[in-house]
Structure 1
Amino acid sequence: MKKSKGRFKRILESKLTTLVAVIILLTPFLVFGFIIYRDSSQTGEPVLGSRFETGLNPAITQEQLDQVESKLVDESIISKKVTLKVATLRIYLEVDVAVSKEDMKLLADATYESVTEVLDVETYFTLSGNKKQYDLEINVYNNSEDRDSEEFVYYQIVKTSGMEQLNGEFVTDATDPEFKEEVLENLAEKLNPDKEEEPAAEEEDTGGG
């Protein structure tokens, strides 16, 4: 009887360990999967403060966006772009292909700190009760011409208003080829004005390389 209980306990512990491991492995995919779903459902309407009638208070102003852009200064940056669209603040930083993955991550982290110096995390990027707030994306990628090659590196930080902690991930390290392809297509669409609604893109972009 004791042996049966011991065996059952070991099986239960093994299953719990496996479940925890699966959840940890899936977390980045769930986060980026949410981003893809959200982006695919966006209408392209501008939002300097009006996505939800009962939320987004205080709203991010153009002056604050200009302050954020002015802080994006680093010798490794080739081009930069700041957009505010459908309650999501997105920052795109293109760097030279010679920049290491470690330095790209450091640049993304430094950019996050710069953003939060202007826009407090608790005030602008964190849910408070039923009060909705902004999401934040920081995208750092190199200028490799072949985005299907191993030379191309893309790092992304995501902080949705519902997340307690930000999530950083090298998207180009994704093992699922379909997932990786979808994320890269999503990036290309965001950066290509011909694939976005021109009026909205022109109104919301605050910078460019």
Structure 2
Amino acid sequence: MKPHVLIVEDEQAQAEILRYNFDRAGFDVSVAADGEEAMVSVDEKQPDLILLDWMLPGISGISLCQRLRTRTDTRAIPIIMLTARSEEGDRVRGLECGADDYVVKPFSPSELIARVRAVLRRTRPALSEERLVCADISMDLGTHRVSRRGRPIHLGPTEFRILRLFMERPDRVFSREQLLDQVWGRDIHVELRTVDVHIRRLRKALGTTGEDDIIRTVRGTGYALNAAN
């Protein structure tokens, strides 16, 4: 699954350059032109990392960063601040507001991509690993093999993608809409109840020999994978 990067940049030319380079580098890319659009985008599909311009129309990048850090569901999203401000005091302010890194314009796209990969390795190591482990479940991303307590688990492609998403973010609750977006994709029409069908199949496969149900149903919200089991 590609890392999802949200670019918040009001200069269209700069945003398109970034989109092009990150797409070529293997990222899933979304773009927002201002803070309000960025918040809508985050609520629709939470990114793995945000590239945030300091100078935005309306709400500033600093204010948006602070807002994201106050929300429980977004406080852990890595944020890299992009700005023409190069003074030490500006760097300090950017980092103190909650940014994980601070990149001064102009910059080379290759350097920025390297910074993004470094932050993701530190904050989301699962994105750079070939093997995921959560509780007693192990997933080999190279061979698409899954096991639980050493027992092979046979999954269909959709169940594998759902489990991978869960294992990359254990304990996080995903709504049915978020699962549809991130597992099936926005351009494919699938009914919400289809998610429940595949969750039931995944549960059955993981508990074939009587293991505990590791998938938690959050009534009225969605599903999560329990990290401690």
Bucket of the pairwise TM-score, normalised by the shorter protein: under 0.3
TM-score normalised over the length of structure 2: 0.25
TM-score by length of 1: 0.26
Structure number with higher strand proportion: 2
Higher helix share: 1
- Which structure's relative contact order is higher, taking Cα pairs within 8 Å and 6+ residues apart? 1
Larger radius of gyration: 1
